Structure 1
Amino acid sequence: MSERTKRQHVVPRFYLRHFTQPDGELWTHDCVTGTARKSTPEKTAYETNIYTPTGEDGARIDLIEDTLATIESQAAGVYPELLAFKPLDTIAKLDFAAFLATMFARSPAQLRQVAQTMGQMALWAGRHEMDRDFREKEALGEVSTVDRAIQKILHSNDMFTMDVDRRAGLLAFQQVEGLMNLMSQMNWSYEISENQQLVTSDNPVFWVKGGGPPDLPGYGFGLGNPYAVIPFPLSPGVILRLDWRRDGAWKRAKLERQRAKLANRYQAKHKERLLFFRDSDQGLCSLAMKHRTPVNQIDLGVPSPIIDVVRKLKGS
C-alpha cells in the first residue's frame, strides 16, 4: 500500500503550475502576514489533513482526498484543450465542471463559511431548547436569578463567542454534484488578456453578477441566476468564462487592460488568504492587502455572536 497523503493542497499543484515562470516557481502573497514569497506549487497552498477527518476509530477517512485526486487527474487531461481554445465534448466538459465544483467546495473560504453556518444552526437549536425549558420553569414559578442571567446571556450576541470545528465545513462537498450539473449547462467561452497578467487565489471559483436589474431585498444571488458569471483564471493570460448567455459558446474575446484589472480585483476580494501570480508585482501585493478581510458569500440574514472556525476544539 502507498503511504497516505498528509500534505493536502487547497489549490491543486497541477493548476498552479500553469501560473509559474520558466523556472517552475510562482509568487504567493499572504494577506495575513503581508508578505510575498516565490516558491514551487508543491511548497505552497497546503495544509496537513485538511480533507481527511478522523473517524470514531481514530483512523483517517481519505474518501474526499482520494476523490479530489481522481477529479484533478481527469481535469489535468482536459486542460491542454482549454489552453488551445478548443471546444470540449460533453464528457470533457462534465469532467472539468466537476473540477470547478470541487475547487469551489474545497476552498478554505467555503470550509470556513459552511462551518460558521453549521455553528449558527446549532446555536439556534440550543437557544430554542433552552427557551422552552425557561418557559416551562416560568409557568411553574420556578425561574431563579441564575436562570434569568443565563437567558439574558444566551440572547445577547455581544456577551459570548462560539468556536466551531472546521471539519463541520466539509459538508461543503455536498454542493458539488448540483454545482457540477449547473456549470456543465452554462455557456463556456474564453477571455484573453495580453497586457495585464491575471492572478488566481485560494478561492478561485465564485460567481459575480454580470448586469441585469437590481436584486430584490432579502433575496440571495445563486449560480442559477441568469446574470451569474464565473470568471475562472486558466493561466496568467486566459480566463474561462461561464455564463448563461445563449450565444458565444467557445468564442474568444480580448480582455482589455481595465477588465483584466477588474478580474484581478475579483480574485483579491474573494480570496481567503492567498493570492498567486507569475511575475512579481507590487501593485498586486497592494491589491491583496486592500482586500485582506475575507468576504462572506453565505449570509443567513440573522444576527449571531462571533463564530470562530478552529482547526481543533479545545479538549477534543
Structure 2
Amino acid sequence: MESCSATLAPKTSIVKNESEGTMAERIRRQHTVSKFYLKGFADQSGGIRRVSLPGEPSIVLSIRDASVIKDFYTVTLPDGSLSDAFERAFGKIEGAAAEALSDILAGVWPIEGEAREAFATWVALQHLRSQDVRYSQGYMNAEMIRLIVGVSGKEALRSLIQNSESRPVSDEELDDEWRDITKPGGPDMAPSANQHVRLLSSLLPPTAAYLRDCHWTLFRFDRRSIATSDHPVTLVVAPDHPQWQGVGIATAELFLIPLSHRVALTIQPRRRFPQLPKGIDRVPDFTKKGTTAIARSINQETAARALQYVYHHPNETPLQGLYLPKPETRDRPSVSNAGALIREEGLFSEMTEEARRAISASSVPDESSSGMSIDDIPWPIPGRRSKTSDR
C-alpha cells in the first residue's frame, strides 16, 4: 500500500497561470469542476492545494486554475465551427446550485423545492460531465469496434479498407491493422466532446430527478478536514458488489459528495429502505455529526475515485496515511470474454451456406433495427489515435 508523503501543508504562495493567452483562449479555458464548489475547500485568498496522484507533486494554486482543461466542452458544429454553448448552459445550472450550496453551508437543512432541484441537477451534471464518463465512452466505442471487426474476420476488414480508400491493402498492412484493432481494449480512441455532450444532454434530466428523490444525509465536521477531487461525485458500492458488474447510477449504493472542507453529503437510493414504519412513506433527510472514522472513510473513497488530482484546504492534511492510487493503474472496462469471439477467419466461417441464408432471412432489418456490422464502421475510424506499428 502506498501512502501520501506529500501531505504536509507549508506556507506556499499561490501558483498563478503563467500563460492565460488571449481573451478567446481564456474563454476556452473550461472548468471540469465548478469554481463555486472548490471555494469551499480554499483559504480566504482563494488558494487550494492540488495533490497529483499518487501523492506528488503538491502545489497551491487559485481555484480559477485548479480544474481547467482547454475546450473540454467545446463542440464542433456541422459547418465545422466551434461552439461553447454548453459551457454557458452549464453556467446557469451552476448559478442556481451555488445558491443552494451556500444555504447548506450556512446551516439550512434539509433543502427542499427549487433549491433541492437545483442542487440535484448540479450533482448529476458534475458526475456526467466528468473526464471519467468521457473516457468510458471512448473505451466502450473501442470495445464495440474490436468486437465487430473481430467477429467479421480479417478479410472483411480488408474489404472495408479497400472499399473506403479505393486501393489494394497488402497482407502486411492488414496484419498491422488487425493487431491494433483487435488487441485487448480495442483501438486507442480519443475522447469525443460531441459524443460526451450528447450523452450528458440525454442523461441529465432523469439522473437529476433520480437523485432529487433519494435520501440525503449531511455530515458536519468540527475539526476533521474533508478533501475533494477532480471527480468529486463518488459512486460507492456495497462490499459484496460483484467485481464483474460495472458501477453506474443505477447500481450505486451510495453517492458521496464532499461539499466543503467541513461538510459532506451522501445520497442513498430509497430502495435501501424497503421496510418503513406504518404511515411513513419516505425516510426524511437528516444531519449527522462527523467523526474521525467517517472523515477518513470519506477521504479514502474520494481519493480512490480521483482521476489525477485531489484537492484540499492548503493548511490542512486530510490525506495523511491514506492510500492514493496511480492514475495509470486504473481498470479499463472491457467486454467479458470478447476475446473468444475474435477470429481471423471470422466467427461464422465454419457455418454452412444454408445456415447463413437462414440467419439472413430471419434478421431482415426494419425501421426499428439497431444492429451493426463491419460495413457500418466509417473508415478511417473517427477519433482513432495514430497507432504504433510493431512491424
Q: TM-score, normalised by structure 1?
A: 0.80
* CA deviation string 1:246-291 (max 9, x = no partner): 5653311122211211110111111110111003456627646445
Tell me what 1:157 maps to.
Answer: 183
Shift of 1:157: 2.4
SS of residue in 2 equivalent to 1:253: strand
Mapped to 2, the partners of 1:14 and 1:105 lie a distance apart of: 18
Tell me what 1:261 maps to.
Answer: 296
Mapped to 2, the partners of 1:43 and 1:217 lie a distance apart of: 36
Tell me what 2:114 maps to.
Answer: 91
Read off the aligned partner of 2:117 and give its amino acid letter.
L
1:276 aligns with 2:311: yes
1:251 aligns with 2:286: yes
Tell me what 1:308 maps to.
Answer: none
Structure 1 residues 299 and 74: alpha-carbon distance in aligned structure 2, compared to 1, 3 A threshold: farther
* CA deviation string 1:23-51 (max 9, x = no partner): 22111112278211111111211011111
Moved more, 231-240 or 30-39: 30-39
Shift of 1:208: 0.8
Tell me what 1:223 maps to.
Answer: 249
Could you tell me which of 158, 170, 178 is aligned with 2:206? 178
User: Over aligned residues, Cα RMSD in angstroms?
Assistant: 3.6
Moved more, 38-47 or 113-122: 113-122
Could you tell me which of 79, 88, 91 is aligned with 2:101? 79
Tell me what 1:241 maps to.
Answer: 266
SS of residue in 1 equivalent to 2:217: strand
Structure 1: gaps (5+ residues): 137-143, 306-310
Identity %: 18
Could you tell me which of 10, 32, 56 is aligned with 1:34? 56
> How many pairs are equivalent?
298
* CA deviation string 1:205-224 (max 9, x = no partner): 1221256xx34675444433
Read off the aligned partner of 2:304 and give its amino acid letter.
K
Moved more, 233-242 or 290-299: 290-299
SS of residue in 2 equivalent to 1:188: strand
Q: Is the 8 A contact 1:29 1:288 kept in 2?
A: no
Read off the aligned partner of 1:79 and give its amino acid letter.
L
Q: Is the 8 A contact 1:269 1:291 kept in 2?
A: no
Q: Is the 8 A contact 1:112 1:169 kept in 2?
A: no
Q: Is the 8 A contact 1:34 1:289 kept in 2?
A: no
Q: Is the 8 A contact 1:85 1:190 kept in 2?
A: no
Q: Is the 8 A contact 2:143 2:334 kept in 1?
A: no
Greater Rg, structure 1 or structure 2?
2
Q: Is the 8 A contact 1:209 1:229 kept in 2?
A: yes
Shift of 1:302: 4.6
Mapped to 2, the partners of 1:217 and 1:20 lie a distance apart of: 36
Read off the aligned partner of 2:141 and give its amino acid letter.
M
Tell me what 2:19 maps to.
Answer: none
SS of residue in 1 equivalent to 2:285: coil
Shift of 1:149: 5.0
Read off the aligned partner of 1:237 and give its amino acid letter.
R
Mapped to 2, the partners of 1:206 and 1:40 lie a distance apart of: 24
Structure 1 residues 183 and 299: alpha-carbon distance in aligned structure 2, compared to 1, 3 A threshold: farther
Shift of 1:297: 8.2
Q: Is the 8 A contact 1:188 1:250 kept in 2?
A: yes
Q: Is the 8 A contact 2:46 2:62 kept in 1?
A: yes
Structure 1 residues 169 and 269: alpha-carbon distance in aligned structure 2, compared to 1, 3 A threshold: same
Q: Is the 8 A contact 2:215 2:267 kept in 1?
A: yes
